[in-house]
Amino acid sequence: MRFTTPDKPVDVAELFPELAGLARTAVRLHPRAGATTVRESSLGGPLLWPADEAWPVCEVDHPDPRPLTSAEGRELERRLVEAHRAVGASPHDAALYRAYQAVEADIRRVRRVEYADDPAARLPMVAIAQFYARDVPELPFPEGTDVCQVLWCPTDHDPHYAPLPRVWWRDASTVTAVATAPEPDRDLSEEEYLPTPCRIAPERVVEYPDWDDLPSDELRERISAWERGQEWRYRADLATAPGTKVGGWPDWIQSPVEPECDRGHRMVPLLTVASGEVGAWRTWLPVETRAEVAFQKEVRFATVDGGTGHTVIERDEVFDPAGFRIFGRAVVPESVEEELIPDYRTVPRGMDMMLGDVGNLYIFMCPHCPDRPVEVEFQCT
């Protein structure tokens, strides 16, 4: 299985030389549903998890409205309200946010005691990714490790209302007996957060910063001026690859974030888990996928009252401007333009997950700290 991203129609680093120093390599994963083994890299597949190591569970790490009854618990809940108020007043103060998280962690600790018999307190985490160094050597494997494993709790978690991931690094040679993953608890899980097991086909592509990650307004203005004479758009067509990928630049849906670890190190993108794999199809849809999917016609036109409109018809269908009305308005025949576009219903779904409203979950990691701490950002439309 191999996938090839088409060559870009223009070289933006040649047009805007300052972009050359900002280029990053991303590893597009191109997930396709299929069985894998514990000795393979995969998305949503079985993990090389030691039989003598407990399978990780989420210990009430998700929003839980149940009150605590102990004196310690009531005091912690009072402090949480104060911490939440402080974060709301200064949402960009990292120290306040860490203090808020610390109180949350204490509350989870107490809740595990008070609700020890509740199965929701022991929700099994779900395998999301496994990467062997031989397949994705771009990952910053700690010394003595060659496997990166990502799992998450398949429920909504504060503060993003998204799955909560954790990352493990291990040495494959030390694992002999392998554990069988528990079945996900579908009664307590969000069905859309449970992945279809997929094989991967790592492909290296060059990326440039997302529009909001560009270093200056002046550069954005020059790119905007260039776009006015082009059919290509920097952000959609030329900058960041869509879909599930390792490293590279984040393909932001909203505003960018710049997480730091507790020691003040700037963190870097580790893994983007995406709801969709296509994005701007003309430059990012792999050549091999393009040959698989069905195409249809998008018809764009002006209306007689000065407005515009569009519709989609079958590939072999002929558009009749004289007989077409949109909200009762007639079409200007000479304005009609047609373009073949993919029928997205025929595009392979990859892991077949929907994160929020077609969202992306971004996992960041500190490459400087030996324990490789991670932070999470979630964005959707």
Helix 71-89 and helix 94-114: axis angle, to 10°? Answer: 160
pLDDT above 90 as % of the chain: 80
- What mean pLDDT comes out for the span 331-346? 93
59 vs 356, which has greater pLDDT?
Answer: 356
Is 122 a residue whose pLDDT tops 90? Answer: no
**Residue 40 predicted with pLDDT over 90:** yes
Strands (E) across the chain are located at 24-28, 32-33, 42-43, 57-58, 123-124, 126-132, 147-157, 162-170, 198-199, 203-207, 245-247, 268-274, 295-302, 308-314, 325-326, 329-330, 337-342, 360-365, 374-379
Quickly list H helices, 115-195: none
Tell me what pLDDT residue 59 has.
Answer: 74
Radius of gyration for the chain, computed over Cα atoms and rounded to the nearest angstrom: 24
Q: Which of 245-249, 329-333, 341-345 has the least mean pLDDT?
A: 341-345
Structure tokens at 12: 């933006």
On the question of pLDDT at 96 being above 80, the answer is yes
Share of the chain above pLDDT 70, in %: 98
Average pLDDT over residues 137-144: 94
Query: If DSSP codes are grouped into helix, strand and coil, which group holds residue 32?
Result: strand
| pLDDT of res. 3 | 95
* pLDDT tens, position by position, 299-317: 999 999 999 999 999 999 9
Name the DSSP class of 349: -
Tell me the β-bridge partners of 167: 150
pLDDT score of 139: 95
Question: For the residues 155-173, what does the mean pLDDT come to?
Answer: 91
The alpha carbon torsion through 195, 201, 205, 209 (nearest 10 deg) reads 10
Of 11-15, 95-99, 248-252, 329-333, minimum mean pLDDT range: 95-99
**Residue 88 is inside which H or E element, if any?**
helix 71-89
Q: Lowest mean pLDDT of 13-27, 62-76, 176-190, 273-287, name the range.
A: 62-76
Cβ count near 274 (within 10 Å): 25
**C-beta atoms surrounding 283 within 10 Å:** 20
Q: Which of 283, 234, 219, 218 is nearest to 28 (CA)?
A: 283
Which of 123, 183, 117, 198 lies closest to 155 in space, CA to CA? 123
Q: Which of 117-126, 167-176, 179-188 has the lowest mean pLDDT?
A: 117-126
Whether 61 has a pLDDT exceeding 70, the answer reads no
* Residue 187 pLDDT: 82
In this predicted structure, the answer to whether residue 381 has a pLDDT above a threshold of 90 is no
> CA-CA distance, 31 to 198, in Å (whole number)?
5
Looking at residue 119, what is its pLDDT?
A: 67
Single-letter amino acid, residue 228: R
pLDDT of 332 above 90: yes
pLDDT tens for residues 234-262?
999 999 999 999 999 999 999 999 899 99
The pLDDT assigned to 278 comes to 85
Give the residue carrying structure tokens 């776009």: 227
Q: Cα 207 vs. chain centroid, distance in angstroms?
A: 16
pLDDT of 93 reads: 87
- What is the overall mean pLDDT for the chain? 93
pLDDT of residue 63: 64
Place of tokens 């618990």: 73
* Calpha distance 104→114 (Å, rounded): 15
Condensed to tens digits (0 to 9), the pLDDT of residues 188-215 reads 889 999 999 999 999 999 999 999 999 9
Helix (H, G, I), strand (E, B), or coil: what is residue 228?
A: coil
What is the average per-residue pLDDT within 148-172?
93
Write down the pTM of the prediction. Answer: 0.85
